[in-house]
Structure 1
Amino acid sequence: MPTAIVTGATGITGRAVVDHLLKAPEWTKVTTMSRSQQPTPNPKLKHATIDLQSSAHTMTEDLKDVDADYVFFCAYLARDDESEAAKVNGAMLQNFIEALHHTGTIKHLKRLILVNGLKQYGVHLGRAKQPMHETDTWLEGDPWPPNFYYTQQHILADAAKKDDNKWSWVVTYPQDVIGVAKANFMNLATALGLYASISAALPDHELPFPGSKTNYLGFNNWTSANLHAEFCLWAALEPKAGNQGFNVVNGDTESWQNLWPQLAARYGAKIPPNMFPGGDDESYKDYEAAHTELPTPMPLTEYAEKIGLKDEFEGKHSVIHQQIDTTKWAKRPEVVKKWEEIRDKAGLDQQTWEKATWGFLTFLLGRKFSCVVSMSKARSLGWTGYKDTWTAFDETFAELEKEGILPKVSQLKD
């Protein structure tokens, strides 16, 4: 009967992995690891406090009484500087694996599952080839900045090789994860739910799309944290999945032109009849816009000649445009006042507002390019998981409300 270690156990992906491990009868013991928070107690669960930024020696002490067949490495640290992100996140994984050697746990390890994401394809740098496949070129060397996903994957593959491949690994590439985590505000659903709930409660009850028109009409994939957890458990035990990376998305290709009206309906808000009066480069009404040109070439340039578009993207950079800068929107007097009214009425934590990642929302809604990936590789090995994206959003909003992170729709009315 398999046993597991989960790092980053209170984050969005880690929390979902833990929940699914505890529900699966074949998994007999789960050891969770995080710096501070502890998951909800469970007979199958043991918790260990660990600082993944510490040395391998220190981690060895933290791990001395821990043993498992499988590791789900869901922890990561966000850094604005890409070089620093690669250094910090690479060291965390490297030192953790070294500590497993020191404790002897590595002798029993069967597989390590590492959670990465679509930065694998450079979507944070601009337009990538569509759809994205696991065989796509890694963006390494000039002009591309360091990518901590690549750093971690090199470390993982090298470590397994040095151990004569006695254990294997799997890397997942989810996209714009929809899920819940307490005290973790790097969360699309939390920021989106705040924007929708406050907008719905304002006098005009309008819910204008704050991003770009191109994004609104474009196409994207999303990943339910619960579906991703199901995939991780499947990939851990699937023999044919070893030593490979996999895209993990819901299975539908969606668009905000379909999701946004459903979001408005959920919160009792109105869709403005002319939502992009300034086209795709202006502001919405009297709101301040945000317009950023990304600094690197488009990742698509790596494929330009191969797909017959050699000069099409030469010298061009992708653009992020929000017709409503949500960072500035969140500071408008009428918005702050309405938040404070709802906060007090619903008994919400002020940190939810103060730590909401409006910049993250700006990027995700402002991209002037689609992000679509192929699931063919996982499907070819037998993965059949699927989740309707709007259902994932709706269920996540409900759970965030239950956790007291977002206000309930009933609490938005005067």
Structure 2
Amino acid sequence: MPCAIVVGATGITGSAIIHHLVKDSSYDKIYSLSRGNPGYQNSKIQHVTLDLQGSVDDMAHNLHGISAEYIYFCAYLGRDDETELLRVNSALLHSFLQALTVTGADRRIKRFILTCGLKQYGVHLGQGKQPFLEDDPLLPNSKGGDSWPPIFYYEQQRILAEAAVNGHWEWVVTLPEDVLGYARGNFMNEATSIGLYCAVSKALPGSKLPFPGSKANYFTFNCWTSANLHAKFCLWAATAPSAGNQIFNVINGDTESFQNLWPRLAARFGCTIPDPIFPNGGVPDTKGFKDYESSTIRMQNRPPIKARESSLGLSSDPVVDNAPTLFLQVDPEKWARRSDVNAAWMQLREKYHLDQEAWDKATWNFLVLTMGRDWSCVASMSKARKLGWTGYADTWDELEETFQMLEKEGVMPPVEQLRRDF
């Protein structure tokens, strides 16, 4: 029976993969690799403490005697500077692969699954050609007078493909988007920030739920990825006959928008949506909701679609020349620093015994991007479907399930009690 190694076992995608590996009877041994012990209680799981920023020799020492046919690499270290982000995360993967070579574990590998994301297409940099397809050209670091920040996924994929050729094994790269899930102590999750925003809004006077983002964002179409669905996909891709040496979009399979999700969020938390929801017409550079701070953030680069202008017949179209702008009628980062907001949070924290760390580490800056942008982010699943993938998840159901887990773990207040108390 095969063994599996999961690198980044304490993260949302890594912990979900371990959960599904445990349920898969075809695996008899699972090695969970991370700096901290996630405390999995299952006889199939063996935890190995591993610092991916350590030396190759140190990693090789910790990995002595450990090997597997299938490796799932979900490790990631965030950095504000894109060049540093590339350097750090490329080094993590490269050093780990070197350590496997030192121990000889690379000789057992059949497939190595690397988790990346839709930043592959520059979704964080502006409007791109939609829907995203896996064979779309990579975004160049420079094109004439245009320049985009480096995307570290490209270098990771180059490192992985080179190692696979040298080691005579196969690789798979997955591209999820805005992953919905939960891992204990890990709050780098859009669902956590949205849930806390809704819960605190319920506790504030009037229980209003303003939409933080731009009017354009409210009506754009987007896709999300369930951590559980992504885990199932990774297990499928590890053994699917034609999946080797391939890059795959991995999204739930539905297309969503905040015009659909926001009313459902308001109903779930017992809030009311202000009417009008865009009091100043949603025009950037104007005041958003009364007493709340708005933000307009002008990006320095042209949108990624600029790189495709000739093939799309858009060379003279303004859409390719205007630098992207993020507009928040309620800036989440500024909102989270308000005294009344923090007082409401502390009231919830004390009343329901919530985790202060969840509030301190909530990724409000991520909401600035995902709600402030005026472009859609939709990827195609056709490539995987043609190879036999049939998985699907409903985004609202996955969001609801994530909220329920966050409530159970003391990150968010239990919604039924919250609705009764406020």
What's the TM-score once normalised by structure 2's chain length? Answer: 0.96
- Quote the residue 1:108 is aligned against: 108
AA aligned to 2:389 is W
Partner Cα separation in structure 1 for residue 119 and residue 141 of structure 2:
15
Contact 2:9 2:33 in 1 (8 A): yes
Partner Cα separation in structure 2 for residue 186 and residue 311 of structure 1:
39
Matched, 1:410 2:416: yes
- Residue pairs, 1:258-337, within 5 angstroms: 258-280=260-282, 281=284, 282=286, 283-312=288-317, 313-337=319-343
- Residue pairs, 1:353-364, within 5 angstroms: 353-364=359-370
Contact 1:8 1:14 in 2 (8 A): yes
Partner Cα separation in structure 2 for residue 141 and residue 270 of structure 1:
45
CA-CA distance at 1:56 after TM superposition: 1.2
Partner Cα separation in structure 1 for residue 182 and residue 325 of structure 2:
29
CA-CA distance at 1:130 after TM superposition: 0.6
AA aligned to 1:376 is S
- Quote the residue 2:348 is aligned against: 342
Partner Cα separation in structure 1 for residue 19 and residue 39 of structure 2:
9
User: Percent same amino acid among aligned pairs?
Assistant: 53
Q: Would the alpha carbon gap of residues 37 and 405 (structure 1) be closer, same or farther in structure 2, given more than 3 Å must change?
A: farther
Q: What SS class does the counterpart of residue 30 from structure 2 fall into? A: strand
Matched, 1:172 2:205: no
- Quote the residue 2:212 is aligned against: 210
Contact 1:345 1:411 in 2 (8 A): no
Alignment partner of 1:385 out of 379, 385, 391: 391
Contact 2:302 2:324 in 1 (8 A): yes
Contact 1:206 1:269 in 2 (8 A): yes
- Quote the residue 2:162 is aligned against: 158
- Quote the residue 2:67 is aligned against: 67
- Quote the residue 1:219 is aligned against: 221
Contact 1:168 1:243 in 2 (8 A): yes
Contact 2:314 2:320 in 1 (8 A): no
Partner Cα separation in structure 1 for residue 141 and residue 367 of structure 2:
29
AA aligned to 2:367 is L
Contact 2:37 2:47 in 1 (8 A): no
- Quote the residue 2:189 is aligned against: 187
Which moves more between the two structures, 68-77 or 332-341? 332-341
In structure 2, the gaps of 5 or more residues are none
CA-CA distance at 1:58 after TM superposition: 1.0
Partner Cα separation in structure 2 for residue 209 and residue 405 of structure 1:
22
CA-CA distance at 1:274 after TM superposition: 0.8
CA-CA distance at 1:66 after TM superposition: 1.2
Which moves more between the two structures, 377-386 or 347-356? 347-356
Matched, 1:31 2:31: yes
CA-CA distance at 1:273 after TM superposition: 2.1
Contact 2:305 2:320 in 1 (8 A): no
CA-CA distance at 1:284 after TM superposition: 1.8
Contact 1:116 1:172 in 2 (8 A): yes
Q: How many residues align?
A: 412
CA-CA distance at 1:314 after TM superposition: 4.5
Q: What SS class does the counterpart of residue 305 from structure 1 fall into? A: helix
Q: What SS class does the counterpart of residue 175 from structure 2 fall into? A: strand
AA aligned to 1:320 is L
Which moves more between the two structures, 91-100 or 36-45? 36-45
AA aligned to 2:361 is K
Q: What CA deviation, in whole Å up to 9, does each residue of 1:125-175 have, x standing for no partner?
A: 111111000011111231122111001000001111122xx2100000000
- Quote the residue 2:127 is aligned against: 127
Contact 2:210 2:277 in 1 (8 A): yes
Contact 1:177 1:224 in 2 (8 A): yes
AA aligned to 1:311 is S
Q: What SS class does the counterpart of residue 196 from structure 1 fall into? A: helix
Partner Cα separation in structure 2 for residue 314 and residue 264 of structure 1:
36
Contact 1:9 1:39 in 2 (8 A): no
Partner Cα separation in structure 1 for residue 235 and residue 39 of structure 2:
19
CA-CA distance at 1:285 after TM superposition: 2.1
Matched, 1:369 2:375: yes
AA aligned to 2:295 is A
Matched, 1:148 2:156: no
CA-CA distance at 1:12 after TM superposition: 0.8
Q: What CA deviation, in whole Å up to 9, does each residue of 1:84-116 have, x standing for no partner?
A: 111111111111111111111111110000000
In structure 1, the gaps of 5 or more residues are none
Partner Cα separation in structure 1 for residue 320 and residue 30 of structure 2:
50
What's the TM-score once normalised by structure 1's chain length? Answer: 0.98
Partner Cα separation in structure 2 for residue 37 and residue 319 of structure 1:
41
Q: What SS class does the counterpart of residue 310 from structure 2 fall into? A: coil
Partner Cα separation in structure 2 for residue 351 and residue 375 of structure 1:
36
Contact 2:4 2:69 in 1 (8 A): yes
Partner Cα separation in structure 2 for residue 175 and residue 104 of structure 1:
34
Q: What CA deviation, in whole Å up to 9, does each residue of 1:17-41 have, x standing for no partner?
A: 0100011111111100111132421
